[in-house]
Amino acid sequence: MYIQWKESLELHNDLIDTQHRIIVLLCRKLDIAIKTQESEQTVRWVMLELKKFVEFHFLSEENLMHEIGYPDVDNHTLIHTDLLHQLDLMLAKISRHREFPEDLLYFLNQWVVNHLVSEDMKIANFIKNTGREPIGKNLYAEYLHTSDNAD
């Protein structure tokens, strides 16, 4: 297993942190599918689930940047586009048996750690320094922290 969630990856934005945790969860799910020798089709379905969630996450994060007036949104969006392109290339190589799913885990580990620490932290710092909040921020606790809201 390459990727582990660490508190140092927290951006202190409930919506984005929750999505980042789901990406890590899906990476771990892929790792388990590989290690337990699930069928090639099952591994492919997990990889597709991961890809689709990453696409959703990038759109969500880009919307957040627009909502708060983040000045580097265009550059950050280009980074997302490049990462998705790299992910698509890796998935295509895996489907042609030119790469292994384990290589995807290594790539994702590098992406999660490097992108969160270098790029996403800039967004968190912008929010902290400007006080600009995304739409519906007060709803995050109600919908994202089920253990806190359990009756």
Does residue 148 surpass a pLDDT of 70? no
44-90 pLDDT, tens digit each:
899 999 999 999 999 999 999 999 999 999 999 999 999 999 989 98
pTM to 2 decimal places:
0.87
| Identity at 47, one-letter amino acid code | M
Does residue 27 surpass a pLDDT of 70? yes
Whole-number average pLDDT of the chain: 87
Average pLDDT for 121-145: 87
Q: How far apart are CA 74 and CA 102, in angstroms?
A: 31
Cα–Cα distances in Å, from 24 out to 9, 109, 128?
A: 11, 9, 24
Does residue 146 surpass a pLDDT of 60? no
Does residue 137 surpass a pLDDT of 90? no
pLDDT of residue 49: 95
Domain 13-144 class, CATH top level = mainly alpha
pLDDT of residue 112: 81
Proportion of the chain above pLDDT 70, given as a percent: 94
Q: How far apart are CA 79 and CA 73, in angstroms?
A: 10
Q: How far apart are CA 129 and CA 57, in angstroms?
A: 23
Count Cα atoms within 13 angstroms, Cβ side, for 34.
17
The full set of domain ranges for the chain reads 13-144
